[in-house]
Structure 1
Amino acid sequence: MKTLFFLSIFCVTCILPAFSQCLDDQKSLLLGLRNSLIFDLSASTRLVHWNHTKDCCNWDGIECDVFGHVISLQLDNEMISGGVENSEYLFNLSYLEKLNLAYNNFHKIQIPKGLSNLANLTHLNLACANFAGQMLVQNLKELKELYLDSVHISAQGKNWCYAISSSLPDLRILSLRYCELSGPIISSLLELPSLSVLQLDGNNLVSAVPDFSANFSRLTTLSLADCSLFGPFPEKIFEIPTLQNLVLSANVLLSGSFPQFLRDGSLSTIALGDTNFSGPLPDFISNLTMLSTLDLSDCNFSGPLPPSIGNLTELTYFDISDNNFTGSIPLFHLSKKLRYVAASRNSLTGSLSSMHFEGLSNLVYICLEQNLLSGNIPSSLFALRSLKLLLLSENEFHGQVQELSNLSSSSLEFLDVRYNHLEGPIPKFFSKLEKLKTLLLSSNKFNGTVQLEMFKIPSLSTLELSHNDLFVQLTDSDSSLPLFPNITQLGLASCKLQRFPNLPRQSRLWNLDLSSNQLTGEIPNWIWEIGNGSFTFLNLSNNLLHGFQKPYKFPSLNSLDLHSNRFHGELPIPPSSSFYVDYSYNYFTSSLPNDIGHFLSNAYFFSVSNNNLTGEIPPSICSANPLDVLDLSANALTGGIPPCLTKKKNLAVLSLGRNNLSGTIPDTFSVNCNLQTLDLNKNVLGGKIPRSLVNCPSLELLNIGNNRIEDTFPCMLMTASLRVLVLRSNKFYGDLQCLEAIQKWLNLQIIDISNNNFSGGISFLSFSKWRGMISANDNKQLTYNNFHLGFIPGYYYQDAVTLYMKGLEMNLTKILTIFTSIDFSKNKFYGEIPYSIGDLKSLYGLNLSHNEFTGSIPASIGNLTQLGFLDLSVNKLTGKIPVELASLTSISVLNLSYNRLFGKIPEGPQFQTFSAASFEGNLGLYGCPVDTSCIKIGSGVSPPGFQNGEVHLKKEIDWDYVSAALGFAVGFGSTVWLTLHCKRWREMFFGKVDQIYLKFFPNC
């Protein structure tokens, strides 16, 4: 009978859930809740369907127990925005065990206190619902799962750790990602014996990972990505027997290495991307037989890849990109389950031709960009029917891409082999890849003639053939059908095109790049009609075009690039929809239209530099509100700078140099201005430097050289962002006594204050503060100073500056972040040269000539191993030339002439290559090369100090180097012979040259 009784109870219990009905009081509470909530009816998928005529236990998002009590309420992603703050309906659902309000928007209201009434809650999810306030968990002792991601809690480690550990003894899952928590994590969390999932990503813990974390005996997931963690990571955590998922990504100061993994470990996910983990990838990683995801991207791992990695039969995602791995790549002996391969930015070498791709039937993604892989790309890659994306750009692949057959069944959709050394003709097999959508072949060495029609692939939407050695041949087909039925982006830059391809029927084309070809004549007017109104990006730069076929009307273009052509006449009015307009390096001769600002109402970038534009800058240009970059330089513009222009807060680059602008620089720079580049070089501007420039904390380049500014040194520029300062050839005066500003120029690379009336000493300068000239060469990659336009990737403005070296004008159109120079020449500085000048380890150019410096040449200059240009001439320096200077092997220009130096010239392989002119006017110097016995007659070799090798050099007479020029011209007449061999005549001659120089150029 007892057995029968229990069986009957069991059956009733089993049957009741199927027939349970919502109790009336529960239904009333739910309907009241629905009516009180503020939510979007059009977006709701559950609340909107609650109907009083149906059993509430069958409503979407509702679950009841066997007695009709509501125990689960799932209202996530219902677009709720209010109505829960003091909801008597919600907080009287006293049987509720699961509550999910995630992914709604409660506008940062405090977490409702009424939640504490729901004492039976075991699952609470308020993630990403835009709540704020402290965690109210004291009365929720039954909680097993707590999700508060993106709740604005803002608590310190000791507070939130204790609040949870003391109140939630049975907690198993704790997710507090992006809650504005701080650290450190304290050991009270160990009082949660059942904790299996701990997710704290995106908090500002700023602490080390505690060793006690290895004591969580049931932990399966530990996720601490982007937490500002630092220090060594405890290896014991890797060895937690239950641990399956370890995510530590985006903690750049977190270091560590792999331990010796135990056999049959439970780890399935290891994500260490963008950390400072280092060391080799150990052979015993193969012990992790359950590993499916391995992300080691952007770390410091090194060494060869272990062959045993092929034993990871469960691996589906493998990313080791941006490390220092070396050797050949054994990746493709991996499991047939492998789906993702990423190993970009390493030093992987070897060939792919021997790799076994055939068996990887699940492989959909391969990324091996920026390595040193070489050889041919094997045909087996293209036989992978599942492959959808292949990235092999920026390697050293060479040879031809092999012809393949029977590829009609290939599933390849995305192929990128840009930036390699692939050569030979374009393979014809591409036309057989019927599912191919994106084909990127640019920046290789493909050559020969290619018919554009061979890429007539039905599914192709993006084709990029640019920057090879191809001659793309166009057909004269008059077919009414489009050449590419689905093409949206077409790149044919540098393809030797001599006429426009026939594209008027391309109804989907929106991006066309025909730059750097041989297009001549006028732009055909049909080009403005392609794309059926969707045509938005056009690049015709670097061609030989001179006009527009009429009639023409610009479509709603977003980007129009016509720079470096032969356009002339009036400036074409840009479409008002455009955000990028570049008309630079043409021959436009008109003035800027008075209403130009109206047509630039959406523009972020506008450049008409290097034309022949005249007239004044129209004030309407200030109405172009989004404008980030305005470049009107190198024209013949006159008048003043509109005061409204410097008021623009968004403007990041203002380049008005090399015009005829007059007046003063408007002192109207707004508070918190965004200016990064201000170039007013070579105008006729007067007055003072605007004091309101102090409102521009992001200023990186200030060039007001070659004007008529009369002011003291700009001590108000106390910004650490300053990289380039050019005050050359103005009327500046006074000393540099403003340490507070100068010591804040931590990133300064180039300073040119030459040809002014500055005076005083510079011994107080602590050059060791200018870290931009100390550690610039520590950068792993050569980069340029430029302003990136945030509205679209790949668009940027590149800063330029004019420097003077070797008596010549040098235009740096690309300012390398490693290029550094100091030019204080042609002023009235006196005193000693600071010894700390030797701290500037990456300094390339140093010019202190034509001043009144005294004392000896600092021996610390010998520490400047990158120095290529040194001019200390025409000063009052005394003593011997430091022997340390002879160790400078990079120096190509040296001028120590006209000082009071004495003693023997140091011997060194570089010093012996300079001409005697480098040491002229120092009566006490002797030794090579001033001694005649050192001169090799008829060598025919120009001394390195006076060779011209720079690009963009503009020759000009520089009388500072008259002596050097004459001394250099060996064998060209008796004047040169006397210069070299007759000391008295030499002194008399150069004395007369200096008198003539001062007579004709009194202000220089």
Structure 2
Amino acid sequence: MSNLRLRLLSLVSILYCIAALRCRPDQTETIKRFKNEFAFSSICRNDTNFFSGVVCDNTTGAVTVLELPGGCLRGTLRPNSSLFELSHLRYLNLSFNNFDSSPLSSAFGQLNNLEVLLLSSNGFTGQVPSSIRNLTKLTQLNLPHNKLTGDLPSLVQNLTKLLALDLSYNQFSGTIPSSFFTMPFLSYLDLSENHLTGSLEISNSSSKLENLNLGNNHFETEIIDPVLRLVNLRYLSLSFLNTSHPIDLSIFSPLQSLTHLDLYGNSLTLTSVYSDIDFPKNMEILLLSGCNISEFPRFLKSLKKLWYLDLSSNRIKGNVPDWIWSLPLLVSLDLSNNSFTGFNGSLDHVLANSSVQVLDIALNSFKGSFPNPPVSIINLSAWNNSFTGDIPLSVCNRTSLDVLDLSYNNFTGSIPPCMGNFTIVNLRKNKLEGNIPDEFYSGALTQTLDVGYNQLTGELPRSLLNCSFIRFLSVDHNRINDSFPLWLKALPNLKVLTLRSNSFHGPMSPPDDQSPLAFPKLQILEISHNRFTGSLPTNYFANWSVKSLKMYDEERLYMGDYSSDRFVYEDTLDLQYKGLYMEQGKVLTFYSAIDFSGNKLEGEIPESIGLLKTLIALNLSNNSFTGHIPMSFANVTELESLDLSGNKLSGEIPQELGRLSYLAYIDVSDNQLTGKIPQGTQIIGQPKSSFEGNSGLCGLPLEESCLREDAPSTQEPEEEEEEILEWRAAAIGYGPGVLFGLVIGHVVALYKPGWFIKNNGQNRLRGIRHP
């Protein structure tokens, strides 16, 4: 694949070097007309941003390159689009736009000078038009992640200059045309994630194919034998073949150039796994996840060039053999989700001298003391095991260590003093004691610190103020005794703060300070089951970022790139939602919640809560709030779960709550409410228990009927009220907002993240350094 990439990059570089000083007026006009055919996000409306992807030939002035990936274009791509007038185009990239299920137009066949056509993730539907055969100069055709159907287009055999063809993640069916394997220059072919069936006809052992991905299809017959004729293969993915017979690994011996083999989700023969077999000696990446393996494969011992090994999600039991750490180039090892219980060899030396940078041993049955990690370690994931004893202080000497996840074990003792050295620290659900170390140094890179469900005492360390990048802080279910950490609002990136079930106490804002609780980016504040007291100022929520949180805005953190996949570390929390405690994932992506339940708060619920329009869950239950339910709740249009039970609220339930279309759970039981229950569909479908304990309520779902069904509803919340709240918030927050803006801007300008991954219960690093 490296040679192919070089050739394609060279082509793009050449095209850009031919960049025009100016485009011909008619070409500029055509581009403008094409732009006006679509709706645009604000970042793309600017002509400068749009035209930065346009390159014209400096001799003819004709557009030769059009690169507009990334979601700028939204709408239907019509057959008479101005795009198809650009007949001199050589490079066209429209990937990751939304063409609203448009068919792949036959007009693409008019662009017969195209050499590169990239149309991935566009939402195209229907069949590949026959006019594609006219693009005889194509060297690369990418159509993955669309909704294309029908048989694979045999017409691509006309594209004799094609180097790379990607039709993955579509809905193609039928068999693979034999012509795909006779194309003279084709070296990259990806047909994965379709509905392909039948057998393969491959007779050309001189095929130039180096990269072949046939994974996740529906082949009913044996296809491996024909594939073995492709002797130039370096990359081969046959994941989830669904064949009726297990695969014998020794059959791959003819493919001596093979460096990457993915057999994920297939069953392997026992003899090939547990014997010394003839296997391609140049193997660098071997993926045997979910292959029903029950013993550690011995043949791996001979693979001296192996640097990435995935044996996750098998049934391997016993100890990890000590020879695996002696493989000279091994940098990434995934043994997660097996039944390992220990390691062969001395714990002091078994891992320490290894070259492994990424080690995932999560979801096993390891017991006893934790071994000293490799000196080279970057990402260490050992969650959900039964390790005991102290966390080894040697982790503090691992200068490259970035992600440390030892959660869900039985570690005891204190937390090592070096947690500020790491980007991710997850020590949740152990038996750790003592204080959280007050040793977070200035410039600490910590972004996630989760020490929930331990036996920690003392106060929150004030040195956390040095962690300007921290986004996720969870200390729930400990024995921490402290006042409300209002000082944490100085952290410009904090999005999640959970203090649940500790001994925090006192007011949540200074008695003489009626200013808003100005956490600049906070999305989740979970402080339930503590001993907080006092009342909340009416403008308490005025400056919260959740006012304008964009749902599904993905601010994810990446470790780099391995193949084409992107793996994400997802912080998770146990949050009360719709009356139940459940684990919420992707909390930094879209979730927003406030839980003040189980404290001793009093006074009225602040009207400013109506400014939190994208709040999903609100729990103020089991306090001593008085007064009315704010009518501004009707402005919280994304609200799904509302719990106000166990307070001293009076008056009527605002009828406008019946219009909250996402409100799936509401509990106002055990208050002093009166009047008619709003009769919105979401509310009358609630159980009676959600409204019981209020002697004056009537209407469904209660059995008490209202004597005056035509009683006037509470006053409509006027637009003016919302504007007053907004102006009040703006007036109060303007001065601090400017200062915070300058500080945050400076931090963002300096910050260059290095990251990690955790997905579906497994941690994997993509920024690993391999030979």
TM-score > 0.5, shorter chain as reference: yes
Q: Which one of 377, 396, 417 corresponds to residue 603 of structure 1? A: 377
SS of the residue corresponding to residue 449 of structure 1 reads coil
Q: Which one of 347, 351, 356 corresponds to residue 578 of structure 1? A: 356
Measure how far apart 1:405 and its partner are: 3.8
Which structure has the larger Rg over C-alpha atoms?
Answer: 1
| Residue in 1 that maps onto 2:90 | 292
Which structure 1 segments of 5+ residues have no match?
1-174, 178-195, 200-212, 221-232, 240-247, 554-568, 935-1004
Structure 2 residue identity aligned to 1:711? D
Counterpart contact for 2:334–2:360, Cα < 8 Å: no
Counterpart contact for 1:410–1:435, Cα < 8 Å: yes
Distance 1:366 1:765, change over 3 A: farther
Counterpart contact for 2:160–2:183, Cα < 8 Å: yes
Counterpart contact for 2:578–2:664, Cα < 8 Å: no
RMSD after superposition: 4.1
Q: Which one of 136, 140, 161 corresponds to residue 336 of structure 1? A: 136
Structure 2 residue identity aligned to 1:292? R
- Could you tell me how far apart the structure 1 residues matched to 2:690 and 2:334 are? 49
Structure 2 residue identity aligned to 1:435? N
**TM-score (structure 1 length as normaliser):** 0.59
Structure 1 residue identity aligned to 2:408? A
Measure how far apart 1:828 and its partner are: 2.3
CA deviations over 1:349-372 (Å, ceiling 9, x no partner): 222434512211111111334455
- Could you tell me how far apart the structure 2 residues matched to 1:258 and 1:495 are? 45
- Could you tell me how far apart the structure 2 residues matched to 1:720 and 1:400 are? 54
The higher relative CO (CA closer than 8 Å, separation ≥ 6) is in 2
Task: Determine whether 1:365 maps to 2:164.
Answer: yes
Distance 1:251 1:467, change over 3 A: farther
Counterpart contact for 1:384–1:412, Cα < 8 Å: no
| Residue in 2 that maps onto 1:899 | 671
CA deviations over 1:249-281 (Å, ceiling 9, x no partner): 99998247999x9xx983333333447356636
Structure 1 residue identity aligned to 2:89? L
Q: Residues 55-454 of structure 1: matches in 2 within 5 Å?
A: 254-255=49-50, 266-274=62-70, 276-277=72-73, 280=77, 282-283=80-81, 285-299=83-97, 303-330=102-129, 332-345=132-145, 347-371=146-170, 373=172, 376-393=175-192, 395=193, 397-400=194-197, 402-418=199-215, 420-427=216-223, 428-442=225-239, 448-454=245-251
Counterpart contact for 2:516–2:541, Cα < 8 Å: no
Structure 2 residue identity aligned to 1:709? I
Distance 1:860 1:443, change over 3 A: farther
- Could you tell me how far apart the structure 1 residues matched to 2:177 and 2:203 are? 15
- Could you tell me how far apart the structure 1 residues matched to 2:539 and 2:519 are? 12
- Matched pairs, number: 667
Counterpart contact for 1:848–1:873, Cα < 8 Å: yes
Structure 1 residue identity aligned to 2:603? G
Measure how far apart 1:629 and its partner are: 1.9
- Could you tell me how far apart the structure 1 residues matched to 2:673 and 2:350 are? 62
CA deviations over 1:329-357 (Å, ceiling 9, x no partner): 33732322211112344x44222434512
Measure how far apart 1:689 and its partner are: 1.9
- Could you tell me how far apart the structure 2 residues matched to 1:369 and 1:771 are? 39
Measure how far apart 1:918 and its partner are: 1.0
Distance 1:288 1:796, change over 3 A: closer
Counterpart contact for 1:467–1:493, Cα < 8 Å: yes
| Residue in 2 that maps onto 1:745 | 520
Task: Determine whether 1:917 maps to 2:686.
Answer: no
- Could you tell me how far apart the structure 2 residues matched to 1:667 and 1:830 are? 33
Structure 2 residue identity aligned to 1:328? Q
Counterpart contact for 1:465–1:495, Cα < 8 Å: no
Task: Determine whether 1:472 maps to 2:268.
Answer: yes
Structure 1 residue identity aligned to 2:139? R
- Could you tell me how far apart the structure 2 residues matched to 1:477 and 1:589 are? 26
CA deviations over 1:522-567 (Å, ceiling 9, x no partner): 44566566x6x3344333322233345x6x59xxxxxxxxxxxxxx
Task: Determine whether 1:871 maps to 2:669.
Answer: no
| Residue in 2 that maps onto 1:707 | 478
Distance 1:841 1:335, change over 3 A: same
CA deviations over 1:824-848 (Å, ceiling 9, x no partner): 1112222332344344444332110
Q: Residues 490-889 of structure 1: matches in 2 within 5 Å?
A: 490-501=286-297, 503=299, 504-523=301-320, 533-548=328-343, 573-592=351-370, 596=372, 599-643=373-417, 645-646=418-419, 648=420, 650-717=421-488, 718-732=490-504, 733-736=506-509, 742-746=517-521, 748-765=522-539, 767=541, 769-772=543-546, 774-779=548-553, 788-790=558-560, 797-805=569-577, 808-812=580-584, 815=587, 817-889=589-661
SS of the residue corresponding to residue 777 of structure 1 reads coil
SS of the residue corresponding to residue 450 of structure 1 reads coil
| Residue in 1 that maps onto 2:39 | none
Q: Residues 979-990 of structure 1: matches in 2 within 5 Å?
A: none
- Could you tell me how far apart the structure 1 residues matched to 2:436 and 2:357 are? 27
Counterpart contact for 1:433–1:457, Cα < 8 Å: no
Structure 1 residue identity aligned to 2:665? V
- Could you tell me how far apart the structure 2 residues matched to 1:253 and 1:370 are? 33
Measure how far apart 1:238 and its partner are: 9.7
| Residue in 2 that maps onto 1:191 | none
Counterpart contact for 1:376–1:398, Cα < 8 Å: no
- Could you tell me how far apart the structure 2 residues matched to 1:768 and 1:406 are? 71
Measure how far apart 1:727 and its partner are: 0.9
- Could you tell me how far apart the structure 2 residues matched to 1:923 and 1:634 are? 46
- Could you tell me how far apart the structure 2 residues matched to 1:465 and 1:444 are? 11
Identity of aligned residues (%): 35
- Could you tell me how far apart the structure 1 residues matched to 2:612 and 2:241 are? 39
Counterpart contact for 1:855–1:879, Cα < 8 Å: yes
SS of the residue corresponding to residue 729 of structure 1 reads coil
CA deviations over 1:869-917 (Å, ceiling 9, x no partner): 2210011212222233334454443321111111122223333332221
SS of the residue corresponding to residue 532 of structure 2 reads strand
- Could you tell me how far apart the structure 2 residues matched to 1:692 and 1:670 are? 7
Measure how far apart 1:741 and its partner are: 8.4
Measure how far apart 1:707 and its partner are: 2.3
Counterpart contact for 1:659–1:683, Cα < 8 Å: yes
- Could you tell me how far apart the structure 1 residues matched to 2:635 and 2:395 are? 50
- Could you tell me how far apart the structure 1 residues matched to 2:139 and 2:515 are? 57
- Could you tell me how far apart the structure 2 residues matched to 1:494 and 1:848 are? 45
Structure 2 residue identity aligned to 1:921? G
Distance 1:813 1:335, change over 3 A: closer
| Residue in 2 that maps onto 1:123 | none
- Could you tell me how far apart the structure 2 residues matched to 1:340 and 1:364 are? 6
Counterpart contact for 1:482–1:506, Cα < 8 Å: no
Measure how far apart 1:488 and its partner are: 2.5
Distance 1:423 1:814, change over 3 A: farther
Counterpart contact for 2:622–2:646, Cα < 8 Å: yes
Counterpart contact for 2:451–2:475, Cα < 8 Å: yes
Distance 1:360 1:877, change over 3 A: same
Task: Determine whether 1:484 maps to 2:280.
Answer: yes
Counterpart contact for 1:571–1:590, Cα < 8 Å: no
Structure 2 residue identity aligned to 1:449? P
Distance 1:350 1:620, change over 3 A: closer
Structure 1 residue identity aligned to 2:507? G
Counterpart contact for 1:844–1:866, Cα < 8 Å: yes
